[in-house]
Structure 1
Amino acid sequence: MRQKISAVLVAGAVTAAAVAMDASPTAAALATPPGAPPSGPCALRGITHDVAESAATPAGFARSHGTVRALTLFIDFPDARATITPQARYAEFFPAVTRFFRASSYGRLDYRPVPLLKWLRMSRPLAAYRIQRAATFDPHSHTGYHALSREIVRAVDDSVDFRAYDVINVLAAPNAGPPAARKVLSVTFSGGDMGLRTGDRVPFRNASFIWSRQSGDSAYRILNHENGHDFGLPDLYRTDGRRVATPVGHWDPMDEDWGPSSDFLGWHKWKLGWLAADQVHCAPRRGTPAEHTLTPVPAPGGTKIVVIPTSPRTALVAEARTRGPLDPTVCRPGILIYRVTTNVTSGRGPLRVVDATPRSGGCFTTDRHVEPELTDAAFRPGATYADRRSGAAVTVLGENPDGTYRIRAVPARWG
């Protein structure tokens, strides 16, 4: 980090200092090193050129465990000048985002935001960039995100060493563009080379652009969602315009990232390096039925997921979900079962929760930000789910006095 940006951080005074302290490694983080990359017969291969549910994340995406440094920039426009200070905009997200990642990762992600606390005034009115939901990062266009990012890089290149950062957060003035309730514009460009390099010859990528404001108790989570793309996670909600029921609902912020908080699914925690190898049990094809004890996702330690491959690119996953600090909407605790498909693209349904109580209307119906149908999707003791096509099955045997759950997993028979 160069001297000029250091001076800006000092000018941030209370806000910047408070967040820097909050982002310091905790004793838990130091005691629990990042898990190894997913491996073994349940680490399914799939799409390698984009965000996907493939167990291994391709090169080019930001690392998602250990210390991650996030350069945080602020932009406004001649026709949409910021009406708040950059410190106030920053405080809408931090230290909440840092705390969320620390809790969800069990201390394995030490997320450190580094803000450049000043508004960067873009040279043209907002409309001139033609920022829409489907705006691209086209190096040959004078509009869109490439043009906007090129201007941002020019504005800070003399004061920022981009080599020091893993992700880039660009927070637009909240009065720039339509309200999020009318149109959500926030977007992330991650992974491959986007055709723009900084003065340090660093590719400008793994960049999240946040527009307007979300509503609900945990509005900051739009940044958790967008940074999830920087880490290689796909959109779980449908982006193809099909009018279908939400595939995952409030069980993961890569689907519903508004309203009350919700933790990441266990498959994502494994993919992100937040689980140790012994916290993932694999039921390989043509194996024998076996019993497993699952520790609920909110609690650190213990087995977190059982993976049952149903083909070379698909699997059933079982995990225990109970109410916790990041899961306040869990109104029917139990075993959550979902299907993972690693060769389906982002936004086309790569992961789908199995509903234990279809067409029930759900059990969490008091918050308009939560689509309720899947809120009671968890399977309770005594219930069995069987996948007829593959023969895989999960039976919930019981809940132990310590809050763990016992299940029996029947491996699939295929190939």
Structure 2
Amino acid sequence: MERQQTPGGVDRPRLRSVAAALTSLMALAATSLVAGPTVAATPTSMGACALPRTPVHHSAGLDTWNNAYPRPDHALDAVMIFLSFPDSRPLTEPHDLVADHFPATSQFYERASYGKFALRVHPGKRWLTMPHPSTSYRITRDWDPVDRAAYLRDALRVSDPGVDFSNYDLVYLVADPDAPGVDSDATKVVNFDAPMRADGTDIKRAVTVFERHPPDRNVLAHETGHVFDLADLYHRPADGKGDWDTYVGDWDVMGSQFGLAPDFFGWHKWKMGWLDPRQVRCVRPTGTTLLTLEPIAAAPAVGGRAGTRLAVVRTGAESAVAIEARAATGNDAHTCTEGVLIYKVRGGTASGGGPIEVVDTHPHSEACWDRSVYPPLADAPLGVGETFTVPGNGERITVEVADRTSTGAYTVKITTSPPE
């Protein structure tokens, strides 16, 4: 679900010409499916271990790209629009709110993509006043579709005269954080049932930002990930209480924007076009594979050949086990532990349902209880000299971390065998 992550019941800091067309606006929450054409990718280009993209929302499958979403493999431009309300005078200036998110968000993506993607923000310089009081829109995380549609209709109506939407790939609608009706828990991406038409371009979705000043860490990196068809990786308890981070813990910003190791999984980097085929190793279903894994967050060596960043064992028609190295560098500079991370990928599981689950190679211990969003998974990576057999698969997959090189890469042996 495209929303700001805020776990309930957990004792730690809050995790957390348009007018005519707009009259028929229907906004869907991020759990809706936005269909679109695909870009074909052959098994030769993606590899035999590339899971197929399925109809579920934000499928982890990556053999094709959903063209309903922009792919971040080139520079994209984002407009940031600032919305005030007649019942409140803003206490902050737009440039202060820009600084809350940029250049940090652009830098996060520059590091994550190894410089292959640039997010260029174009912020407005003044507040645009909405026609109704903030309280009239009844802004909440689980926003009523009618109220949400009214907000979006008014936001685009007041911004259209001064914004040429044809110049932008992403839209950030930033509300006055001090207005009485603004709920910081409502930050999310909203997909439109039918694209809005403005300035000769389709607007398919918008990021509605209701963050406090200063905001939650990495919140815009998380929400922007949804714009690129990435799923929520947290688990939302049915009653809103309990732990939200049982699927991936600190690993990947699509799980928690507060994670200690928020860089994207190698699987996501492969999906978005940041890893090329030479950096992904499809492991044979039977036998032993010896390889060296460069940390997923490490910057590429200058002038060096692209080393392996991700190993994948196909376990089914829509499932795989992924193996990558995580180290204290780049976006993962503040990680709790280093080592070889193992996780399961399910291409047929929708956003919020656990499309990716980290395998805890130390199930009887935890780490960084004072900093981690979920200490039981903070020590999930396998260390040098350790061996682990992945549970729950018909085939047997054993991962051994033999050594760590002088450059920080890990020497890994993966042994696979068919079901007994």
TM-score of the pair, normalised by structure 2: 0.80
- TM-aligned CA deviation for residue 329 of structure 1: 3.1
Q: Residues 26-74 of structure 1, C-alpha deviation per residue, up to 9 Å, x if partnerless?
A: xxxxxxxxxx997222110143352121213312112212101111111
Candidates 356, 377, 381, aligned match of 2:380: 377
**Paired residue secondary structure (2:186):** coil
Asked if structure 1 preserves the Cα contact closer than 8 Å seen for 2:74 and 2:117, the reply is yes
- Structure 2 equivalent of residue 258 of structure 1: 258
- TM-aligned CA deviation for residue 246 of structure 1: 1.8
**Paired residue secondary structure (2:369):** coil
Asked if structure 2 preserves the Cα contact closer than 8 Å seen for 1:337 and 1:354, the reply is yes
- TM-aligned CA deviation for residue 220 of structure 1: 4.5
Asked if structure 1 preserves the Cα contact closer than 8 Å seen for 2:94 and 2:127, the reply is yes
- Structure 2 equivalent of residue 129 of structure 1: 137
**Residues in 1 aligned to 2:327 and 2:97: alpha-carbon distance in whole angstroms:** 33
- Structure 2 equivalent of residue 89 of structure 1: 97
- Structure 1 equivalent of residue 219 of structure 2: 222
Asked if structure 2 preserves the Cα contact closer than 8 Å seen for 1:262 and 1:328, the reply is no
- Structure 1 equivalent of residue 18 of structure 2: none
**Residues in 2 aligned to 1:356 and 1:329: alpha-carbon distance in whole angstroms:** 20
Asked if structure 2 preserves the Cα contact closer than 8 Å seen for 1:392 and 1:412, the reply is yes
- Structure 2 equivalent of residue 187 of structure 1: 188
Amino acid at match of 1:153: L
**Residues in 2 aligned to 1:354 and 1:102: alpha-carbon distance in whole angstroms:** 28
Asked if structure 1 preserves the Cα contact closer than 8 Å seen for 2:390 and 2:397, the reply is yes
Q: Residues 131-173 of structure 1, C-alpha deviation per residue, up to 9 Å, x if partnerless?
A: 221225x4xx3x21x2212212211223322122111111222
**Paired residue secondary structure (1:100):** helix
- Correspondence list, 1:316-395, <5 A: 316-362=321-367, 364-367=368-371, 370-381=373-384, 382-387=386-391, 388-395=393-400
- Equivalent residue pairs, number: 365
Greater percentage in strand: 2
Amino acid at match of 2:219: I
Asked if structure 1 preserves the Cα contact closer than 8 Å seen for 2:292 and 2:410, the reply is yes
**Paired residue secondary structure (2:89):** coil
- Change in 2 beyond 3 A, CA 1:312/1:412: farther
**Residues in 1 aligned to 2:127 and 2:96: alpha-carbon distance in whole angstroms:** 12
Amino acid at match of 1:44: L
Amino acid at match of 1:386: V
**Residues in 2 aligned to 1:185 and 1:148: alpha-carbon distance in whole angstroms:** 13
Question: Is the aligned partner of 1:232 residue 2:229?
Answer: yes
**Residues in 1 aligned to 2:75 and 2:174: alpha-carbon distance in whole angstroms:** 22
- Correspondence list, 1:75-114, <5 A: 75-114=83-122
- Structure 2 equivalent of residue 12 of structure 1: none
- TM-aligned CA deviation for residue 78 of structure 1: 2.0
**Paired residue secondary structure (1:291):** strand
**Paired residue secondary structure (1:42):** coil
Asked if structure 2 preserves the Cα contact closer than 8 Å seen for 1:298 and 1:325, the reply is yes
Amino acid at match of 1:326: N
Asked if structure 1 preserves the Cα contact closer than 8 Å seen for 2:293 and 2:309, the reply is yes
Question: Is the aligned partner of 1:314 residue 2:311?
Answer: no
**Residues in 2 aligned to 1:88 and 1:330: alpha-carbon distance in whole angstroms:** 29
**Residues in 2 aligned to 1:178 and 1:324: alpha-carbon distance in whole angstroms:** 40
- Change in 2 beyond 3 A, CA 1:201/1:179: closer
**Paired residue secondary structure (2:193):** coil
Asked if structure 1 preserves the Cα contact closer than 8 Å seen for 2:195 and 2:205, the reply is no
Q: Residues 239-276 of structure 1, C-alpha deviation per residue, up to 9 Å, x if partnerless?
A: 35264552111111101102656211111111111111
- Structure 2 equivalent of residue 241 of structure 1: 238
The alignment-based identity, stated in percent, is: 32
**Paired residue secondary structure (1:407):** strand
**Paired residue secondary structure (1:251):** coil
Question: Is the aligned partner of 1:277 residue 2:277?
Answer: yes
**What is the alpha-carbon root mean square deviation over aligned residues?**
2.4
- Structure 1 equivalent of residue 163 of structure 2: 160
Question: Is the aligned partner of 1:59 residue 2:67?
Answer: yes
- Change in 2 beyond 3 A, CA 1:70/1:228: same
Amino acid at match of 2:234: Y
**Residues in 1 aligned to 2:198 and 2:180: alpha-carbon distance in whole angstroms:** 29
**Residues in 2 aligned to 1:134 and 1:98: alpha-carbon distance in whole angstroms:** 28
Structure 1 window deviating more from structure 2 (127-136 vs 328-337): it is 127-136
Question: Unaligned stretches of 5+ in structure 2?
Answer: 1-40, 301-305
- TM-aligned CA deviation for residue 323 of structure 1: 0.6
Question: Is the aligned partner of 1:72 residue 2:80?
Answer: yes
Structure 1 window deviating more from structure 2 (232-241 vs 312-321): it is 232-241
**Paired residue secondary structure (2:76):** strand
**Residues in 2 aligned to 1:175 and 1:390: alpha-carbon distance in whole angstroms:** 55
**Paired residue secondary structure (1:205):** strand
Q: Residues 224-248 of structure 1, C-alpha deviation per residue, up to 9 Å, x if partnerless?
A: 0000000000000013526455211
- Structure 2 equivalent of residue 13 of structure 1: none
**Paired residue secondary structure (2:220):** helix
Asked if structure 2 preserves the Cα contact closer than 8 Å seen for 1:162 and 1:198, the reply is no
**Paired residue secondary structure (1:345):** coil
**Paired residue secondary structure (1:250):** coil
- TM-aligned CA deviation for residue 77 of structure 1: 1.8
Asked if structure 2 preserves the Cα contact closer than 8 Å seen for 1:57 and 1:232, the reply is no
- TM-aligned CA deviation for residue 283 of structure 1: 1.6
- TM-aligned CA deviation for residue 186 of structure 1: 0.9
TM-score of the pair, normalised by structure 1: 0.81
Asked if structure 1 preserves the Cα contact closer than 8 Å seen for 2:176 and 2:182, the reply is no
